[in-house]
A and B are shown apart, each in its own frame.
Chain A
Amino acid sequence: MSLSKMATNDMHGEKSAYFDGWKAYDRDPFHPKKNPNGVIQMGLAENQLSFDLIEGWISKKPEASICTPEGISRFKDVAIFQDYHGLPQFREAVAKFMGKTRGGRVKFDPDRIVMGGGATGANEMIMFCLADPGEAFLVPSPYYPAFDRDLRWRTRVKILPVECKKSNNFQITKQALEAAYQKAQEQNIKVKGLIITNPSNPLGTTMTRETLKSLVRFINEKNIHLVADEIYAATVFSSPQFVSVAEVMKEVKCNPDLIHIVYSLSKDLGLPGLRVGIVYSYNDAVVSCGRKMSSFGLVSSQTQHLIASMLSDDEFVDNFLVESSKRLGKRHEIFTKGLAKVGINCLESNAGLFVWMNLQHLLKDHTPKGEMELWRMIIQDVKLNVSPGSSFHWSEPGWFRVCFANMDEDTVHVALSRIKKFVGNSEEVEPAKAKRWKNSNALGLNLSSRIYDETVMAPTMIMSSPHSPMPRSPLVRART
């Protein structure tokens, strides 16, 4: 074989049965006029609710572009700028924005801001800095499926899922962490750290202050790292308010060299195409090394310039954060209330671009196979692409992640009425004064191919991979 093992193994996670959902959408995408019976994409965690605010700002600030007459004088300086420190104004603006999304309760130092190629690149980069091949990170499940690729593929670091019990409202406990840590020790696997996503994907919940404190105590005691992926920080739309690890650090005695935050503008601002990923570390050596590694995924200077301008506009940012949060909250309410009307419950959540929906009562079989069957039915008959819980390494069958912020309100109602029909409820849902977006597709882009950035990994893949977690993983039990 003339290519490397890395190029030919399946660690990229795309050879999975779950792609049937994406394929179904690709073949038959929903369009309100052209294809009203098509598959509605509810598997993509995007925030499309507040573009008008950003577009409005851009039209009023031509100098933020280096292409307009007002901005062109900066073209040369920006086009040449490849310094891995990043444009100072960019770092300052991002640091300020991060502070605002945490309610001003923490201040961030622009000199600790390191760029990454999206959160995807940032997560991989922090692994390269903190762990050697064969070493491991603990990760609470359910977790974002692409972590399997992002944290493991090229780094060759292992991931050890730590299951959070539903009975505990899916919060991670010290006992679960201890048990996972001990298990790793017994198998001679060196644990280098813990990575959490807070607010959580797929749960849509924020971690309580107490839980965060106990995590910080745990890692400090074990002298291992804590990476907090806070990519959904500004998608919090109701209480409790978001508590960042940056805040908790001030309240619990811990070694700051162990604390690192991953951030991005893809969810909070809805700009995944701009590839703005950030690693924020309290460890000087990590900042220094990370900066050099960021050469492999710097943010385009053109984008740095735009974002610097946008995020230093306090009035715009303050208004955006309030308005975006309000719209997400409203959308969440419409969707969860609509589901509740037909007897479907979701985990109570206060953040994120999705809900964690409970369809256990619809399972014929309370097994992973049963979940897959239900899922295929949802895709083929109900024509909704949702994400089954097992793709998030969740072992209890019947949970699904359903996204609600990547479509207009009208489409949400269409989805709800289809769900109603499926569940067998004859009561008509009132189609409220639904706002329909002008479906501009001027570039003719096939936006459905975005799926590849949200790959999922089937349980079978996890088991057969050489980097598979411990043999006694709940996933293995579930299959046999």
Chain B
Amino acid sequence: MLSKKLRLDAHEEDSSYFLGWKEYEKNAYDDVQNASGIIQMGLAENQLSFDLIEAWLASNQDAAKLTKNGESVFRELALFQDYHGLPDFKNVLVDFMAEIRRNKISFDPRKLVLMGGATSANETLMFCIADPGDAFLLPTPYYPGFDRDLKWRTGVELVPVHCSSLNGFKVTKFSLEEAYQQAQKLSLNVKGVLITNPSNPLGTTMSHDELEELITFAIAKKIHIISDEIYSGTVFDHPSFISIMEALLDRKLEETELWNRVHVVYSLSKDLGVPGFRVGMIYSNNEALVSAATKMSSFGLISSQTQYLLSKLLSDKKFTRNYMKENRKRLKARREMLVTALREAGIECLKSNAGLFCWVDMRNLLSSNTFDAEVELWKKILREAGLNVSPGASCHCSEPGWFRICFANMSEETLNVSMQRMKAFVEKTTQQCRRGGGRVTHQESGCNSRRRSLSNWVLNLCSYDSEPYR
């Protein structure tokens, strides 16, 4: 009676993974009213710099109001539903994107398509590039929401490009080839590779070499590259961020076929911390794609009221420069806090330079080198430490024991509380392990890291709604 998409969706109710969210909702931490509640560390939000935006609004009341030169613009905005987008807004967006990339490249507003969030932008790119049954390669670990955003309504398949902790989860020529061969074995027509750069959940930017390998691979296979650069403004440390567009220019690929097969996704949800405003976009040199995507954007246009407000905010270059600088500083400080505290508890993180989270190595705390043990550990962290963190399996990591922990969606005090709890938890767990007679060592966990040992519930995660992980 209902569509297959709807019936598929019904399975998620069985996921034990949602336990985390349900527990949090039932028992959310509050520093005053519920100090023993669960602290949410699974949400990649940037709450660190709202004061800067609020201060701007307070001193720019005219701009914030719906008037221009004394005339009301309400009527025009209320009627404005042109899928080409508010021109002023697109102009300031391309400037903002260029600024984030240290003005090494410039963007043309005519190649920018506004979409209702990166969620919508990513799905639209799938609709434009792939037919049902075609495949995209995705380096793991990756943002869990991709399973829904890229596959659900489009019918596109995702084939993982397995990345390993042995080289810091970097994408290699070998891993790309292996994934491609795997797709061939499954008789899947590979249309492209989708990278998230900076990476979610790793918090790292792609190196020059990685980008080179990727470009070479895409040229050889004649496939697309989608670069989701949603975290590009959160790069707070070396090395600097290299956008795929910069990499193409460096290799002088403007006149080649690949130039028309590379597309960037961006959003203001992470950099400006305004996910509620649903501001996403696609940037592409491919005219046909821009044209098709523009028409598809009708299904999720950005509210004109929001386009107007943000066009005013981002047109203030003094504000944007100061905001980016301050925002990065605060993110870096938070990352330091988390990394230092975890280190004190005997836990290391992958060295990161971006994002709103750390990729944390808790393999030492696993009772065995399996995903079952990872679930077990995750549940214990939830119930005993009262922390909702994200297990690596939900990000399709091939090795058990890694967790994503967010640090920018709470106050500093709350982060301190969470770290104290973590320290206490690790101490207790370590003592228990010792009593139990042995922990998993790094050597043991490194090797057989393929998904063959995944338990059913993890496989089921592929088709689940992963809203909690945005």
Contacts and interface: CB of A to CB of B under 8 A. Distances in A.
B83 A453 contact: yes
A25 interface: no
Interface string A113-127: 000011011001000
A72 B54 contact: yes
Interface in A122-176: 124, 128-133, 149-150, 153-154
Interface residues of B, number: 87
Interface residues of A, number: 81
A303 B74 contact: no
A21 interface: no
Given A273-B77, A293-B153, A306 B5 contact: no
A107 B274 CA distance: 34
Nearest to B87: A445
A312 interface: no
A132 B302 contact: no
Contact of B73 (A67, A81, A443, A447): A443
A270 interface: yes
B273 A449 contact: no
Contact of A274 (B3, B148, B305, B465): B305
B71 interface: yes
Given A121-B299, A293-B153, A55 B74 contact: yes
Interface string B142-185: 00000011001100000000000000000000000000000000
Contacts of A72: 54, 57-58
Contacts of B6: 129-130, 285-286, 289
A316 interface: no
B401 interface: no
Main secondary structure of the interface of A (DSSP, over half): helix
Contacts of A7: 127-129, 288-289, 292-293
Interface stretch (A195-203, A294-302, A344-352, A358-366): A294-302
A248 interface: no
B191 to A, nearest CB: 8
Interface stretch (A46-54, A209-217, A324-332): A46-54
Interface string A443-455: 1011101101100
B128 A128 contact: no
B467 interface: yes
A141 to B, nearest CB: 22
B50 interface: yes
A8 B286 CA distance: 13
Chain B binding surface, main DSSP class: helix
Contacts of B57: 67, 72, 75
B443 interface: no
B69 to A, nearest CB: 6
Contacts of B64: 65, 67-68
B76 A447 contact: yes
B455 interface: no
A3 B289 contact: yes
Nearest to B123: A296
Given A72-B57, A76-B50, A79-B274, A442 B72 contact: yes
Interface in A79-110: 79-82, 84
A131 B77 CA distance: 35
Find the residue from A270, A288, A298 having the highest chain B CB count within 10 A.
Answer: A298
Contacts of A370: none
Given A275-B302, A275-B303, A295-B117, A79 B3 contact: no
A59 to B, nearest CB: 9
Contact of B74 (A58, A121, A129, A149): A58
A129 B7 CA distance: 9
Contacts of B71: 440, 442
B81 A302 contact: no
A69 interface: yes
Contacts of B80: 273, 443, 445, 447, 450
A84 B293 CA distance: 23
A378 interface: no
A272 interface: yes
Nearest to B83: A452
B208 interface: no
A456 to B, nearest CB: 14
Interface in B78-98: 78-84, 86-88
B75 interface: yes
Contacts of B4: 132
B470 interface: yes
25 contacts: A8-B292, A51-B75, A54-B78, A76-B54, A79-B50, A80-B274, A80-B275, A82-B269, A117-B300, A121-B299, A129-B5, A132-B4, A266-B81, A270-B79, A271-B78, A274-B305, A275-B303, A296-B149, A296-B300, A300-B278, A302-B306, A440-B73, A440-B75, A442-B76, A452-B295
When A and B form their complex, which 6 residue pairs have the shortest distance between CB atoms, in order from nearest?
A301-B276, A273-B304, A297-B300, A67-B64, A117-B300, A300-B303
